[in-house]
Amino acid sequence: MGGNGAGDVFRGTVDDDATPATAIVEAIATIEGRDPTRLDSRLYDSIDPSGLNAVLATPAEAADDPGRLTVSFTHAGYEVTVSRSGRYRIAPADAD
């Protein structure tokens, strides 16, 4: 997982040997300074990790808008956006 924090926003790229779901969990653990297995919330409480991986692994040729597919969701107090290109953005969710 390559990533960097810029203010309250953490951006990174899914490594070739990782899945989007794993990269998101590891990035949130990095943000919180915790081990990924010790996080308070599990990714599957917010989104189906297998479904996320499958959607983002769909060949670009099969998509109506190749290369531009993104999935956004809220997890553990963060707004998460991950794209088929492997880039992701994690930012604190807006308080209501």
The pLDDT of residue 96: 44
∠ Cα 72 74 62 (to 5°): 20
Question: Which residues, other chains included, contact 47 with Cβ-Cβ below 8 Å and sequence gap of 6+?
Answer: 71, 73, 75
Mean pLDDT of all residues belonging to the chain: 85
Give the pTM: 0.82
> When comparing pLDDT for 84 and 82, which is higher?
82
For residue 3, pLDDT beyond 90: no
Domain boundaries, the chain: 2-92
With pLDDT > 90 as the criterion, what percentage of the chain qualifies? 67
37-66 pLDDT tens trace: 999 999 999 999 999 999 988 665 555 555
